Structures are given as C-alpha cells and as structure tokens.
Amino acid sequence: MAKLGMAIADKAIPKIGPRGLPTDSWQATLARPAEAIAIPIGALLSGFLVFSIFLIIIGKSPLEFFALVYKAGFGTGFSWQNTLSRTTPLLFAALCVALPARLGLVVIGGEGAIVLGGVMAGGLAGVMAGLPAVIAIPLLAFAGGLMGSAWIGAVGALRHYRGVNETISSLLLAYIAIALMNHMVEGPLRDPSSLNKPSTAPFAEHLRVGNLPGMDVHWGLVVAVVCCILSWILIERTTWGFAARIAGGNIRAAQVQGLPVGRLIVGFTALGGTFAGLAGVFEVAAVHGSANGSLAAGFGYTGILVAFLARHDPLALIPVAILLAGFEASSGLVQRRMDLPDATTLVLQGFVFVAILLSETLYGRFKLFAPERWGVK
C-alpha cells in the first residue's frame, strides 16, 4: 500500500525541471517537432534567397519571378489543377525515397522504377484491351507496381546480402532502366504508327484513367495521397514501422536485438519501388496514353528533393510535393514573361536541395529546440 501511495503521489505531483517548468510541459513536448518544421522551412527560404541573388546577378527581378510562380502555380483554379496534376508522380517518387530512408538508406534511383513501371503498363495495355476497365486497370497497376518493386527491391537485396552501397546501385540501375525503356519503346514494343516519337500502342479509351469530377486532375492524385497516409500508418502505428525506425537508428543494435533487418531492408525498398512503378503507370494511363521517352521526365530526381524537404515524413510529402509541383508548373510562364530558360526552375530546385543538405548539420544545435531548455533532463 505504501508503494501504491508513493506511485500515486509521483503522478499527482509534476516533476520540475531545471528552469522551474514541468518535465511534461507543452514547450518540452513541442521542442523537437518544432525543430523538424523550422529548420526545413529555414532551408527552403535560404534556397530562395540564394536563388534571388542569382537572378539579380543575371539582371532579372526576384520579385517578378516569384510573382509569376505564384500566378502560374497557385493563382487561379486552372493553375491549381495544373499543379495538382504534376503532384501525383512527385508523391509516388518521394515515397520511393522516404520509406527506405527510415532505415537509413539513401535510394535515389526511383526514376528507373518509374520508367519501367510505365513501360510494363504500356506493353500490357494492348493485351488487356479486351478486358473490362474494372479488371484491366488494377491489373496494369499491379504489373507496373510489381516491376518497380522488383527493380528497387533489388537495391535493398544488394545492400543487405552483398554490402553494395544503395545510393550508387540505385543510381546505376536507373540509367540501365532508362536504356531498357528506350530499347523497348523503339524496338519490340514500338507501335508502327508512331513515326515522329517512338511509343507503344496507345491505350484503349476505356483503359485510360479518368479525371476527378469537375477537375482536370486524374484519379492518380487520390491514390497517391492514400498511399502517403497508409505509409504514415505503416511507419508510425505498426510493429514493422517501429522495427524500421529502430534499425534506421542503429542497424547493428537492431540485429543484436533480433530484428529481421534483412527483410526490413528488402521489404521497404520494394514497397518504395512499388510506389515509383505506380507513378509510371499513371503517367502512361492518365497523361501520355502510351509509353514513350516522356516517361523519363525527372520526376524521380525531383522526388528526392521532396522527400528530404519533408524529412521523409509521408504526410509532410503532400504539401511539399504541391509546392514543388507549382514551381514546375510555372516554368513555361516564367520563360515567356522573363525571357529565361525553361530550366530556370531546376536551378531553383538545385539551390534549395543544397540548402536542405546543409541544414542537416543544424539539428540539435539550437538551444531553443532542446527539451532540456524547457525542463526535460
């Protein structure tokens, strides 16, 4: 009874930290989450600042540039639809980076899974043309996702079983995948009627993925958002996600504790590859109508920036992907109004990416975000 009374007393009287605040104060609770938000935002603004200096050096107005970006990406309903249509592949590509990153893996070859997923769907579309859409479209998505899963899952397998660096192997496999895509669409899978731009046979009309009601945005956006939500649940609310976070902190310690590190590495990389493959499927089935060289549009590489800026949080990927998609959607207007190359927005993305990488060294350095400051020992 005495021990029970002491336990009740301990719960009733809050513990006081060194600054006179309870150790469970709301300031201490929010310190680390606030850091995870403030530093990426600061890095984003720093990238904007450096890019603004770059514009001034070449004789252009930063204010005019960002005003045009806002107008083209977010200023009107049409602009929003254009931005959201570009968000879908970025979300899938970012998931391909974010999920392995929770295990401490840096996989940057999602572009390969995207193009192969698209080629797989484009090649099978003619075979499934006679099937109803409710059967054929899920089968095409499954085939494209399976192709991406095998491609990026191989990166995880090479990392775990052979010790091959996943960053290098994923990048090299992406180059191989793009070469395979070009070979297939210009050779065995080429539609004879595609004279100017080699492509696979066009999708049957009933196999095309349609748009959301009242919007010029295809259903892939909904699928991508749902995948982000499910990925967050997997990481934050399941034992597999907890094990992945433990392994990401210290793989050796996870192995000592008996966690299935090998299955986690292969499983999470394969799942990320599945999402990248789905990006290719939706690009073919909803945007292009056939598989061709346009699949290699750089979504996999922009997805790296999205994932790092979102700190590999599946839910944070959504607003970050929308932001960067807006920048990409504005490139045409910026080119026409400011007489700048179409690749100017890529320069902006480069500056932001460098700022994000440099900001990684800042975590834990600001006392403002230290729980100890607010009472936690």
Tens-digit pLDDT profile for residues 145-172 = 999 999 999 999 999 999 999 999 999 9
125-143 pLDDT per residue, tens = 988 988 999 999 999 999 9
| pLDDT over threshold 60, residue 377 | no
| pLDDT over threshold 70, residue 27 | no
Question: Band of the pLDDT at 370, cuts 50, 70, 90?
Answer: low
Write down the H helix ranges in the chain. Answer: 2-12, 26-57, 62-74, 77-101, 110-125, 133-162, 166-186, 220-237, 239-249, 251-256, 261-282, 299-309, 317-329, 331-338, 344-359
Write down how long the chain is: 377
* Cα–Cα distance measured from residue 172 to residue 314, given in angstroms and rounded to the nearest whole number: 26
Cβ neighbours of residue 131 under 8 Å, at least 6 residues apart?
139
Arch. (CATH architecture) of 48-56+80-358: Orthogonal Bundle (1.10)
| pLDDT over threshold 60, residue 17 | no
Instruction: Give the pLDDT mean for 175-198.
Output: 91
* Cα–Cα distance measured from residue 29 to residue 23, given in angstroms and rounded to the nearest whole number: 9
Instruction: Give the pLDDT mean for 270-284.
Output: 97
The answer to whether residues 250 and 242 touch, using CB atoms and an 8 Å cutoff, is: no
* Cα–Cα distance measured from residue 167 to residue 334, given in angstroms and rounded to the nearest whole number: 33
| pLDDT over threshold 80, residue 324 | yes
* Cα–Cα distance measured from residue 244 to residue 272, given in angstroms and rounded to the nearest whole number: 14
The distance of Cα 216 from the centroid of its chain, to the nearest Å, equals 22
Confidence at residue 230, expressed as pLDDT on a 0 to 100 scale = 97
| pLDDT over threshold 80, residue 28 | no
| pLDDT over threshold 80, residue 328 | yes
Confidence at residue 310, expressed as pLDDT on a 0 to 100 scale = 92
Please name the amino acid found at residue 319. Answer: P
Confidence at residue 7, expressed as pLDDT on a 0 to 100 scale = 42
Share the mean pLDDT of the chain: 88
* Cα–Cα distance measured from residue 33 to residue 318, given in angstroms and rounded to the nearest whole number: 18
Torsion from C-alpha of 162, 167, 171, 176, nearest 10 degrees: 10
